[in-house]
Amino acid sequence: MRQPFRLLVIGSRTWDDPAVIEHALAAILARHPEGVLLVHGACPRGADAMAAAYAARTLGYHIEAHPADWCRHGRAAGQLRNAEMVTLGAQGCAAFLRGASPGTTATIRLARAAGIPVWVHTQR
C-alpha cells in the first residue's frame, strides 16, 4: 500500500477565503488517489483552521497537527514549530499568503530551501 502524499499547509492567520483553500486541497487530492496527509500548525483561525476543517470532512485526507508551544517558547514558538514541520519533510507545500505575513513568508523560504515544491496562493 502506498503512503499518502505528505502535504504541508501553511498560511496567514488572517486568511478569510475558505473556497480558495478547499479548491486547492481538492485539486491536490485528485492527483493523489493514495490519500493525502495534511500537516499543519494547528492555528485556531485562518488558513490552518480552514484547511484542517476541510480535511476532517473529506474522505482521503488524514491530519497531522503541530501546535506551537507558546508557553515554553514565547514569541518564537510559531517560527520554531514551522521550522520543525519543514524539517520533518513533505512532498509539497500549499501556502496561503495574505499580505506580508512574516511567518508564512519565512516558512515558504524554508520549504523551498529544503527542496519542497511550494504552491503559493495569495490574498490581499
* Average of per-residue pLDDT values in the chain: 96
pTM of the prediction? 0.95
Helix extents (H) in 1-95: 18-30, 47-56, 70-73, 77-87
Show the cell assigned to 48. Answer: 490552518
Residue 68's pLDDT band, with cuts at 50, 70 and 90, is: very high
Residue 2's pLDDT band, with cuts at 50, 70 and 90, is: confident
Q: Kindly give, in sequence order, each residue whose CB lies less than 8 Å from that of residue 122, ignoring residues fewer than 6 positions away.
A: 97, 98
Q: Which residue has the cell 514565547?
A: 74
Angle between helices 77-87 and 102-113 (to 10 degrees): 20
Report pLDDT for 124. Answer: 83
**Mean pLDDT computed over 2-13:** 95
> For 72-80, which contacts have Cβ atoms below 8 Å and span 24 or more sequence positions?
78/41, 78/103, 79/103, 79/106
pLDDT at 54 > cutoff 90: yes
pLDDT at 37 > cutoff 80: yes
Question: What percent of the chain shows pLDDT beyond 90?
Answer: 97
**Mean pLDDT computed over 81-101:** 97
pLDDT at 1 > cutoff 80: no
Angle between helices 47-56 and 18-30 (to 10 degrees): 50
Query: Do 114 and 107 meet the contact criterion of CB atoms below 8 Å apart?
Result: no
- Residues 54 and 19: their CA atoms lie apart, in Å, by 10
| Domains in the chain: ranges and CATH | 5-123 (3.40.50.2000)
